[in-house]
Amino acid sequence: MTRTRLSICLRKRRYPTLEDAAQAAVSRADLALRPYRCDRCGQFHLTSRTKGKRIARPGGVNVLQHPLALTWK
């Protein structure tokens, strides 16, 4: 796992607890966010990144198995 860059940490809002960060993430209905503990400051930030996280697509449609995808070359 890579460390959070200090410049990123300094720009982001800090939450003292996971619960506070999770509540803030839920209140942002326009963007799917998840909390994480920062290895720089030890507090929690929010991110929209999903690298390394498997999240099911809405509707459960796998793009590569869609009938139209099979005709693309």
Q: Is 38 helix (H, G, I), strand (E, B) or coil?
A: coil
**pLDDT single digits (tens) 35-47:** 999 999 999 999 9
For the chain, the domain total comes to 1
Residues 6+ apart with CB under 8 A from 38: 4, 9, 12, 14, 44, 45
Residue 62 pLDDT: 52
Residue 18 lies in a domain: yes
Indicate if the pLDDT at residue 69 is higher than 50: no
* Alpha carbons within 13 A on the beta-carbon side of 35: 19
Residue 47 lies in a domain: yes
Residue 71 lies in a domain: no
Q: pLDDT averaged over the chain? A: 79
List strand residue ranges (DSSP E) for the chain, in order.
34-37, 44-47
Residue 43 lies in a domain: yes
